[in-house]
Structure 1
Amino acid sequence: MKKTSFLILLFLIHAQTFAQAKPNIIVIFTDDQGYADIGVNGQVDDIKTPNIDLLAKTGVRMTAGYVTAPQCIPSRAGLLSGRYQQRFGLDHNGTIPLPLDETLISQRMQKAGYVTGMTGKWHLEPNHQQEKWLKEHMPELNIKTVKPSDIPFERKIPYMSSNRGFDDTFQGYIQDYWTTYTLDGERNMEAHWIKQAGYRLDIQTDATVKFIENNKDKPFFYYTSYFAPHVPLGATKKYMDRFPEDMPKRRQYCLAMMSAIDDGVGKIKETLKKLGLDENTVIFFISDNGTPIKLNMADTPGVGPGWDGSKNTPWVGEKGMLSEGGIRIPYIINWPAGLPKGLVYDRPVISLDVAATCIALAGLPETDELDGTNLIPYLNNTKKGDPHQALFWRFWGQSAVRMGDYKFLKSGKHEYLFDVTSAAHENKNLINTYPRKAKVLKKRLKQWGQELKNSGIPTKDFNEQDSVFRNHYLKSVE
């Protein structure tokens, strides 16, 4: 056999082996990170994310990647359930926890024979702001004066990650972790609280790496939910020293925190390569919503509430808003054995697609329960057209739909139509230019609204936030 023919045969055998093996899957979900703050998106010149950029350069970067809500809890509920969270009444942080009868990706992957795990921010258990849940489950409490400590931890345990399809959990934010394993090698423990020394993002990276090492011989699904760059801002000297001090302090903190996440991505990739798992491991990198720029990115003193230092450039708006800045986020998929390298994909996709893609890769049958789409055929160009006919949002007093290049946005009583693929994107209202198109999109949005648990789309301003949204961002395009 000639050498060339032999090499081709080896390649085909290698490709067939990967095609037959279930890929490992890691979902990296950052917290309040804007579209601009990965270097490969090319919007700012002060960010340093070489490892995340390499994910894109050796994988697929989505330039029109969305999440289902511009806020933490509903966005996470949409990602993990694979369903629009409004279908089960979780519209915003102050409604309900993720219902126990919703099936999560982790539970589906367990059925496919995967070992599952997570680390970092969970944020899907009951909290003191969820009036609907409190009225139903703890009617003895005064809703107006309830405090976090008024909800016994025993009431939260069924909602914790350890009871939602994750075999291994290292759930936590800064130093307190609800865990079934340790970074020192202990495993298979009953979930319990520990104090973990170290920097929160390094801890979450180390928990990911330890899980990979523990489960290298099985197909695994892991959810790395980094608590950053969400406030409270915080980074070690190692990361802060990578950036000059003569910049807004909140910006320096954000850059340092993103650098820590980037180091984590590099360490995860290095671990996979060392164990021979890199080629057949799928990595998603997505943010849970746009960053809260608080209108003007004020560099207020301290590390608490306010701008977290991240940027949504070039998009209009911020966290809490259905303009692009609130919902259009960094979105990368990397799978060396199964996806093109360096593809830039500009058609609209959403975080709902993670679940649908995962179950397809795991060999599970398609289900109508999910609202997402398996993206792999579209990214490999074996399936033509857009993955979605339409994408939908409803949040506070706002609702929106994107179909093709156009987005219809309704904020209270005010309506807008944008070509979000144009240079003007949401700086030019086209509703009077294309009234028929706006009517078609509005009708489709209203139809979707009728499918939801609390049906309909908002027609009145919800609160002051909506007025700020309209007056600050959209007055110029009315």
Structure 2
Amino acid sequence: MRIISVVISVLFLVACGGSSEQSVPSRPEPPKPDLPDSGYPDKPNVVIIFTDDQGYADLGIQGSRQDLKTPNIDKLASLGTRFSHGYVTSPQCTPSRAGLVSGQYQQRFGVDENRFTPMPLDIDTIGSRFQRLGYKTGMIGKWHLEVMGNSSEWLEKNHPDFYASNQSIEKLPLQYKRPFFPDERGFDDVFWGYERRYWTNFELNGSDKSAGYQIKEQYRLDLTAQAAGAFIERNAENPFLLYFAPYGPHVPLEATEFYLSRIPENMPTRRRYALAMMAAIDDGVGMIVDKLEKHGLMDNTIIFFISDNGAPLGDDMTDAPLDKRGEAWNGSRNDPLIGEKGMLTDGGIRVPYLVKWQGHFPAGKVIDKPVSSLDAVYTALELAGEKSLSDLDGVSLLPALEGNADYLDERALYWRFWMQRAVRKGKWKYLQAGIRREFLFDMESQEGETLNVIDLHPAVADELRQQLLQWSNEMQRPDPIVEIPAPFGARYDHYLPPPQG
């Protein structure tokens, strides 16, 4: 009977439409706690490091795995604060990045999945916001919010003739793609790309260049780390925002012998390459810290380190050939969490999450309350002097960092992705995959997502379900209330107890 009532309530709200223009009550505003008067310096520099498909387990400081070494990032955590229940807004690259770059739930403007690129031009970005506050802004690494090969919906709407011709997106004239590049979205200095081809407007030696593509044969993680260092050198005398998004350990798995030599050979090849890539990322973080120390900026620089989503495991972490992409394991791990990239279990959305501000934020502290990547954006802008924060979906982390984190239990975090929907509020997490698979978890219990307690707490599940549906109804796209297809259903049943009845 519970399943029937869920479907009826969901279908009722969907019938009302998927837009905030419908006559449904607005969701309660998340709590905005009074900020401590701590005398923080004006206009601190902000560095946001956003890795790619790095699972929850894969920092040494997490204590889950013994086969990796990330000394530089671990030092950030030991001298800063680690959020053990840190979340991103999606279990997939593009929507997670759209959430971070906008500071909003990306479903508000329709970037629910990778295939809904590009990010609309009317959405304000952290680059533009910091620019208006007098900051120099930089974007290095993976952007993934531009017009891409899977932007078919956008192409059909905006360039129907090109869409009908079924040509490669590479043939679309640059003038139509250019407005979506980060240097047109609020970032002064850019060095972004993926494997060999990069759009840049400065050189690695720090000199200016005309904006355009460059082919770079250097190892991608070393290259973008050097670009991040060059950005700091270029802007050390100005307040700056650096959004550094290394393309790893996302596939394709590749590493130089310099990093592979650090990793023992007696392990799956994909794991070894992922560990080598994480060693490269760690070296890059160390280099960024060295640059900040060189210029005496550590006391005036906030550093966030977050992954964009959990690791893809391919169900069983098969050690497939390195050239296999698709659903293959990328060599990263999510232990001890349940599930993987693409799922709204914690393995897909709970990630490494650290913040350090030398001399201002506590050192060696672990906060076990649920926080979002959206909170990092809110907090950074708040400290930079932004007064107009009401359109953001995050909350300030300052009270939690000052010692009182209880307010973080009072607001809900929401997710919606590919026929799944979830909400976490305090210790409770409600998750519905498709229609039949419905779960309630006590995330503070030892069992976590291994024990479905929905039959023990139906009133809690009902309340969270209604809040989730109300939030979902405010988003731009309606939620397709359909059963998840068999292959994905099998993945859920692999990780979670299958539904009864």
Partner secondary structure for residue 183 of structure 2: helix
Please give the residue correspondences for 1:217-232 in structure 2 after superposition, counting only pairs within 5 Å.
217-232=237-252
Partner of 2:100: 79
Partner of 1:402: 424
Partner of 1:259: 279
Q: Can you list the C-alpha shifts for 1:89-134, whole angstroms capped at 9, x where unaligned?
A: 1110112311000000110000111000011101101123223212
Change in 2 beyond 3 A, CA 1:145/1:299: farther
Please give the residue correspondences for 1:276-287 in structure 2 after superposition, counting only pairs within 5 Å.
276-287=296-307
Partner of 1:424: 447
Return the match for 1:116 from 116, 134, 137.
137
Partner of 1:236: 256
Change in 2 beyond 3 A, CA 1:316/1:48: same
Normalising by structure 1, report the TM-score: 0.93
In 1, are the aligned partners of 2:42 and 2:384 still within 8 Å (CA)?
A: no
In 2, are the aligned partners of 1:18 and 1:280 still within 8 Å (CA)?
A: no
Give the deviation of 1:447 after TM superposition.
0.8
Matched, 1:152 2:170: no
Give the deviation of 1:422 after TM superposition.
1.5
Give the deviation of 1:418 after TM superposition.
0.6
Give the deviation of 1:387 after TM superposition.
6.6
Matched, 1:411 2:433: yes
Return the match for 2:318 from 298, 305, 326.
298
In 2, are the aligned partners of 1:429 and 1:477 still within 8 Å (CA)?
A: no
Q: Can you list the C-alpha shifts for 1:156-200, whole angstroms capped at 9, x where unaligned?
A: 11000110100000111222211110012312x331111234211
Partner secondary structure for residue 247 of structure 2: strand
Partner secondary structure for residue 44 of structure 1: coil
Structure 2 letter corresponding to 1:219: P
Q: Can you list the C-alpha shifts for 1:416-446, whole angstroms capped at 9, x where unaligned?
A: 1011222211111111010011001001001
Q: Can you list the C-alpha shifts for 1:228-247, whole angstroms capped at 9, x where unaligned?
A: 00000111101000011111
Partner of 1:450: 473
CA distance in 2, matches of 1:153, 1:459: 38
In 2, are the aligned partners of 1:412 and 1:462 still within 8 Å (CA)?
A: yes
CA distance in 2, matches of 1:366, 1:477: 45
Please give the residue correspondences for 1:280-429 in structure 2 after superposition, counting only pairs within 5 Å.
280-305=300-325, 306-381=328-403, 384-386=406-408, 389-413=411-435, 414-429=437-452
In 2, are the aligned partners of 1:202 and 1:260 still within 8 Å (CA)?
A: yes
CA distance in 2, matches of 1:292, 1:298: 11
Give the deviation of 1:154 after TM superposition.
2.4
Structure 1 unmatched runs, 5+: 1-15
Structure 1 letter corresponding to 2:463: V
CA distance in 1, matches of 2:468, 2:480: 11
Return the match for 1:433 from 456, 473, 482.
456
Give the deviation of 1:377 after TM superposition.
2.3
In 2, are the aligned partners of 1:397 and 1:466 still within 8 Å (CA)?
A: no
Aligned CA RMSD, in angstroms, stands at 1.8
Q: Can you list the C-alpha shifts for 1:8-43, whole angstroms capped at 9, x where unaligned?
A: xxxxxxxx9983332110000000000000000000
Normalising by structure 2, report the TM-score: 0.89
CA distance in 2, matches of 1:20, 1:373: 20
| Structure ranking higher on relative contact order (CA contacts 8 Å, 6+ apart) | 2
CA distance in 1, matches of 2:123, 2:293: 35
Partner of 1:29: 50
Matched, 1:127 2:148: yes
Change in 2 beyond 3 A, CA 1:433/1:383: closer
CA distance in 1, matches of 2:67, 2:410: 34
CA distance in 2, matches of 1:37, 1:59: 18
CA distance in 2, matches of 1:55, 1:173: 26
Partner of 2:292: 272
Give the deviation of 1:385 after TM superposition.
2.1
In 2, are the aligned partners of 1:122 and 1:171 still within 8 Å (CA)?
A: yes
CA distance in 1, matches of 2:206, 2:152: 41
Change in 2 beyond 3 A, CA 1:303/1:380: farther
CA distance in 1, matches of 2:366, 2:200: 38
